[in-house]
Each structure stands twice: as C-alpha cells, then as structure tokens.
Amino acid sequence: MRVLVTGAAGQLGKDIVLLLQNKDCKVLACDRNILDITDEEQCQAVVSEFMPDVIIHSAAYTAVDAAESDVEGAYKVNATGSRNLAVAAERVQCKLVYISTDYVFNGQSQEPYHEYDNTDPQSIYGKSKRAGEILTQTLSTRYFIVRTSWVYGMHGNNFVKTMLRLSQEKELLQVVNDQKGSPTYTVDLAYFLFELIKTEKYGIYHASNSGECTWYEFTKAILEDAIDILGIQVTASLEPCDTSRFPRPAPRPRNSVMKHISIQTNGLSDLRSWREGMRSFLYSLKQTENL
C-alpha cells in the first residue's frame, strides 16, 4: 500500500509514519518543507508523482488561541490546504483521511457527541477545521473524516509531558475540573487509522481512547502512574479549579467526549481505555529516556 502522510513531523504524523513503515507500506512522509498543502499546484504535482493509494492528512493549523487573531492563516491551512488535497486525491482516485477535532462541536452538550450530531464550532480553529471537513466531503468520493480529541504522544510537546515537568518544578498545580474529554494516545490512533484505510467503509468517525475524564482527573492519573512507572518525585500538590481561572482567547469546550457509533456499526476495533493508553505511553517514555 502506498500512503502519503501530511503533517509527518507532528506528534501524530510521526507515529503514523512509523507504524506504516513497520507494516511494509510505501510511505511518502511530508512535512511543510516537502509539501506545502496551501500550494495547489504543488499538491497536484506531489500526489500525481507518488500516486498514493491513501492520503492521511494530519497537517493542520492547531494553535487554537493564535487562530483567533490569525483567521486567514487558520483557514488557509485547514480549509484551503484540505481542499487542495481533496482535489488532488480525487484526481488520482485515492482514499483520503482527514484528521479533524471535537472543536467542530460547541462543547455544551450533556451527552457524548455522535458522528452526525449538528456541528457548531465556537472558535476560529473549530470553524476552520469544520470548513476542511465540508470541503473533504464535497470534493472527495473516498473519504474518511476522523475526529479525535486531547491528543498526546512521544513526539513534540503535549499536556502529559508538561504536567510531568511541572509536577517536579512547582509547589502547586491548579488544573481545570469543569472540562471533560477523552485523552488519545497517538499510537492507538495510528493503529485505528491503519485498520480503517484497509477498508472502504467511508464516512465520519469519532476515534479517541475510550472513557472520559476532566483535565484535573487526567492530571491526577498522570502523576499517580508516573510515580508508579517512572519512579519520579512529584513535588507539586494538585488542586482542581474552574475554567475561569485561566482565561484564553479561544473558548474551550466543556464537553469534548465523543461516542464511537461509526466504529461500532462498521465492526472496527475500538480504542482501548484512556488510562491504559496513558500507562502504555509512560512505559514507552521510560524506555526511550532511560528513566
């Protein structure tokens, strides 16, 4: 299988590339130096030359707060860039996976979001990602839209690594306890994507590690398991707080939990629990950094 991966230098992209290479796929790993997705002609040229069976499009403008003042930049990458890839994919008749986000919803629901619940993004980031979804659906006939949430992994900075560091530097950690979601380990998401691209079960999918927690509960679990697995010394005490404690330019969803209806109805393998995924990440971190 020939797979072109955008955003290959990102934390998800790197794990996708590693997995595909281990599965003996022919992979073209594209960071922005190899493929500028906002350049329509370059998208056409690179895709037409490589002739992929699948494009996994994980490149995105993900600076949620910066997007509020850089509207054009967010839409240029998340909407126009996605359009360019959808058109290029359709020209060579390949499958297209568009990685999307829980931010396409308003985050106020009392229940987990289903794949076909009405979208209502509240931030520029969410609106631009929803625009990318619409363009993917409109311009591609072989698409998978995969919405995920609270992503972390071995590569790059993320919430888990930040909490591990701060827990050893600070005396007090205040973490919001009124936003809930499903932390998602990039390795688990990559395995799901590999299973998905071998099918023709096109459509919208919600894919995150199973279960839910607040950011405070997530942090509490991170520190408990880090003490057990990594043997680190946590100096900080942990305290829950409200979202109002940390005002941001972009509104954060109160509820980012998504139900995996499409995974279940299509007979695909659901992702394991978020706690299992996180413990696996910590064991990998221990091996990589010799902790």
The residues assigned a catalytic role are: 125
CA–CA gap between residue 78 and residue 82 (Å, rounded) = 6
Q: Is 236 buried (19+), middle (13-18) or exposed (0-12) by CB count in 10 A?
A: middle
Under a CB-based contact definition with an 8 Å cutoff, are residues 194 and 250 in contact? no
| Residue 77 Cα distances to 12, 40, 56, angstroms | 17, 12, 15
CA–CA gap between residue 281 and residue 209 (Å, rounded) = 13
Strands 54-57 and 95-101: what pairing?
Answer: parallel
